[in-house]
Structure 1
């Protein structure tokens, strides 16, 4: 699908479309997470966050029209091209951390940082995507709110999440970014445990590969 900005007659962009079917999604997702995602995507704009051109709902479906990433996601990229060289990896990690710094400044935590949610464009920049688990972490009085709900992927989870205690969502985003960095340089996860308690023990022992 293509998109032509109304103020740029000579420019045409290829778009990707994310479709959420309300009838097949879990009730908790429809009532809590989907409204948050729509609200957050309408507010944010940053060079290293995926551009959303339009959102609409029709026939019990939600449509998100976004920038198309020509090189797929980060996991696909390193799987096909191999581990990143230091200069390349440093550039992309800087872009990811700039995106997280922006989200921190506007009071938003992503809560699902992983290679599959980082897209690679044709000119080899990255875009942070998929805000399905994102939430605002600032109360009206400016206090930072803690989270108790586990979101995201187990392999990228910070120790405090695995311990089952309330956690600061922006801090666990940084932990997950560190897991991303390890993967793009080593082509494997630092802690390859499938059970949460085993993963937590490996983290505490610093038993990374």
Structure 2
């Protein structure tokens, strides 16, 4: 559909490369979200835009945000997507006191979405509570594929990343070290930080980049981040802490992958 098919209602958020807006469709009278990506030069040479469009177009899953339309203008690409009326997971955690069951249901869907990406050889690389949206209290949509990349070639071999982007608090140590890394395994670190945030309403590592890295590569610090919450622990929280501890491991190859995390969750169903 053309750009005249939508009316901008309001700005939802400001992204790194443009705004996020709510828009009204003239055709079906529904509300959608529009992500505006500003660019200069030849759009076909921008790998980040290329991958975001490609991956949103191909990743069809109930827990991944749905792409409806693409409108390309002279200096912007506008992605029309499903509108998540309940906002981001970050706001949900700050504004509510989610129960164990709520966290369980939401986290299960996050892992399912990430698993689907990884099975399709795509790494998200920006898994944060801001990029996990809710269409209802506990229905998840993984969003913002602006940093997503292919993580395996056609033969299943690892495609290492040598750009070091993403949210500081959710970045794995190998990303902060700025050494070539496997983005599938760095995604799993981010999933661990997201679960920590869901349980304790804060991130485990704060400070500048150097200080965060010094904490992430110290196993004793990682263990203490969980133990310091011992007063909040109960049998259910204990399950989450086991998963967190097996995701926040300095050595990437030792992190749980999505199938193992889902096995943990399934055993508690």
TM-score (norm 1): 0.87
The question of whether the paired residues in 2 share the 8 Å contact of 1:71 and 1:121 is answered with yes
In the alignment, which residue of structure 2 is the partner of 1:22? 39
* Pair 1:80 & 2:60 matched: no
Pick one of 174, 177, 201 that aligns with 2:191: 177
Q: Over residues 2-54 of structure 1, what are the superposed CA-to-partner deviations in whole Å (9 max), with x where a residue is unaligned?
A: 4599xxxxx8642111111224xx99996221111111111111010001111
The question of whether the paired residues in 2 share the 8 Å contact of 1:147 and 1:168 is answered with yes
Q: Over residues 115-142 of structure 1, what are the superposed CA-to-partner deviations in whole Å (9 max), with x where a residue is unaligned?
A: 1000011353010000000011122333
How many pairs are equivalent? 200
> Using the alignment, how far apart are the partners of 1:12 and 1:159 within structure 2?
46
> Using the alignment, how far apart are the partners of 1:100 and 1:170 within structure 2?
9
The question of whether the paired residues in 1 share the 8 Å contact of 2:86 and 2:137 is answered with no
Where does 1:83-98 land on structure 2 (aligned, <5 Å)? 84-98=98-112
Pick one of 166, 183, 193 that aligns with 2:180: 166
Q: Over residues 127-173 of structure 1, what are the superposed CA-to-partner deviations in whole Å (9 max), with x where a residue is unaligned?
A: 00000000111223331211121121010011111222221111111
* Pair 1:200 & 2:217 matched: no
Q: Over residues 72-112 of structure 1, what are the superposed CA-to-partner deviations in whole Å (9 max), with x where a residue is unaligned?
A: 11111111113x22111011111000001101111000000
3-state secondary structure, aligned to 2:181: coil
In the alignment, which residue of structure 2 is the partner of 1:8? none
The question of whether the paired residues in 2 share the 8 Å contact of 1:13 and 1:67 is answered with no
The question of whether the paired residues in 2 share the 8 Å contact of 1:85 and 1:185 is answered with no
The question of whether the paired residues in 2 share the 8 Å contact of 1:22 and 1:30 is answered with no
3-state secondary structure, aligned to 2:46: helix
* Pair 1:104 & 2:118 matched: yes
Structure 1 gaps of 5+ residues are 6-10
In the alignment, which residue of structure 1 is the partner of 2:131? 117
* Pair 1:63 & 2:78 matched: yes
TM-superposed deviation, 1:201: 1.7
Whose relative contact order is higher, 1 or 2, with alpha carbons under 8 Å and at least 6 apart?
Answer: 1
3-state secondary structure, aligned to 2:188: helix
> Using the alignment, how far apart are the partners of 1:45 and 1:27 within structure 2?
28
Alignment root-mean-square deviation, CA: 2.3
The question of whether the paired residues in 1 share the 8 Å contact of 2:133 and 2:143 is answered with yes
In the alignment, which residue of structure 2 is the partner of 1:35? 50
Structure number with larger C-alpha Rg: 2
> Using the alignment, how far apart are the partners of 1:30 and 1:17 within structure 2?
22
